[in-house]
Amino acid sequence: MSTKTPTDAPTNHELANDLRELRARVSTVETENKELRKANKKKDERIDELEDRVEELQKANKKKDERIDELEGRVEELETDIDDLGDEQDRKHARFDAATDLNDNRLNELMARELEKGAHLPEEIVIEFDLPIKEGRLEKIQKDNGTYYRLPESEDPLARGGSTNLAHGDLLPIQQLAQMDGDMLDRTAKTKGDYLAAKLWQARDSEVDNPWKNGCKGVQEYIDASEMKHWIRRELGRGAVDDAYAKKLVSRTIGAMKDLTKDRIVITKTKSGRSGVTSKERRVKIMDEVEIPGETTQKDDADGTSDVHG
């Protein structure tokens, strides 16, 4: 049983204050609730928006996957087509190569028959080692309009290419070397003497640096050892060859010329007077009477302007 007396009950004023506070609290809660509902609504809208975006992206990815599958299928088709085309191309090449080989064989056989009949064939149409001709039988010759192949000592019945000059094998060794360019000569010459002898022989036709002099009294051309020494130093470079070494190279060059011309040169001693001192030096001569393949032995009167002794 309560011991509170009626005098302890809240007054009307207190109750009114409590009621106002409750109403204010309810209003605040309702306001907060309203704001929360708005926030939730915005979140729901954002979620819906994101879900729509995800759905769009999924659709786009699906389309891309479908396109990738389509392209991969197309690539496979193209690769198959390429393989088929490659196989067809290989078959065509094989047929072409077979036909070409057959035609080449027929052509080589025809050229061999023509050569056996005496024909001279231009160098540019002949592949020497493809012809059905025993190795070493083909001969390369020079004619008025170029280089030809023939079988040894055969005369072309149709006289193609003009008159026949000399075959390479008919030339003297020094002439064969002299026909080479600098690189080939450098690779082919066995010694420095051979190299210089060939270059000196080439110089006979040079309009720039020809150390040879025209002779007379049976001498076609000649060169003295002293002039040969100066020419060697010019040819090899003065900085690379001193005077003493150039003298040694003169002896080697003269020896090589004797061998490479098969003794078609004559070596004599001649007097040389310089700075008031008289001495004898070697002179290399090419005589009129000596037969040099491909060169005429006749001389114009105008050539006999130099005095030669000994």
Instruction: Note the pLDDT tens digit of each residue in 4-18.
Output: 555 578 888 888 898
Answer yes or no: do 194 and 295 share one domain.
yes
Answer yes or no: do 262 and 180 share one domain.
yes
Does residue 88 lie in a domain region? no
146 beta partners: 143
Mean pLDDT computed over 277-295: 84
What residue type is assigned to position 198 of the chain? A
Mean pLDDT computed over 248-269: 94
Task: Write the burial class of residue 197 (CB in 10 Å: 0-12 exposed, 13-18 middle, 19+ buried).
Answer: buried
209 in Cβ contact with 218 (< 8 Å):
no
pLDDT score at 310: 36
Answer yes or no: do 252 and 151 share one domain.
no
Does residue 48 lie in a domain region? no
Answer yes or no: do 234 and 215 share one domain.
yes
pLDDT score at 169: 67
| 209-226 pLDDT, tens digit each | 999 999 999 999 999 999
| 103-147 pLDDT, tens digit each | 888 888 888 888 888 888 888 877 766 777 766 567 777 777 778
Answer yes or no: do 226 and 209 share one domain.
yes
Which of 112, 146, 168 is a domain's end point?
168
Does residue 102 lie in a domain region? no
pLDDT score at 3: 53
Q: What is the total count of domains within the chain?
A: 2
**Residues in CB range of 264: below 8 A, 6 or more apart:** 172, 286, 290, 291, 292
176 in Cβ contact with 147 (< 8 Å):
no
Mean pLDDT computed over 222-242: 91
DSSP run (H or E) holding 246 = helix 243-260
Strand 121-122's sheet: what is its strand order? 121-122, 146-150, 139-143, 164-167
Answer yes or no: do 185 and 298 share one domain.
yes
Q: In terms of residue numbers, what domain contains 157?
A: 121-168
DSSP secondary structure code for residue 257 in this structure: H
Does residue 285 lie in a domain region? yes
Q: How far apart are the first and last CA of the chain?
A: 175
pLDDT score at 154: 58
Residue 193: CB atoms within 10 Å: 21
Largest CA distance in the chain: 177
Answer yes or no: do 137 and 196 share one domain.
no
Residue 171 token pair:
């030339």
Which of 168, 202, 227 is a domain's end point?
168
- Among 133-142, 162-171, 238-247, 271-280, the range scoring the smallest mean pLDDT is 162-171
Question: Confidence band (pLDDT; 50, 70, 90) for 1?
Answer: very low
Answer yes or no: do 214 and 132 share one domain.
no
pLDDT score at 7: 58
Answer yes or no: do 290 and 269 share one domain.
yes
Answer yes or no: do 162 and 265 share one domain.
no
pTM of the model: 0.47
Does residue 66 lie in a domain region? no
Q: If we measure between CA atoms, which residue out of 135, 107, 108, 141 comes closest to residue 122?
A: 141
186 in Cβ contact with 236 (< 8 Å):
no
Mean pLDDT computed over 299-305: 42
Q: If we measure between CA atoms, which residue out of 168, 173, 169 comes closest to residue 260?
A: 173
Does residue 191 lie in a domain region? yes
Residues in the chain: 310
Does residue 283 lie in a domain region? yes
241 in Cβ contact with 253 (< 8 Å):
no
Answer yes or no: do 161 and 180 share one domain.
no
Does residue 265 lie in a domain region? yes
Answer yes or no: do 191 and 288 share one domain.
yes
Which of 39 and 168 is assigned the larger pLDDT?
Answer: 39
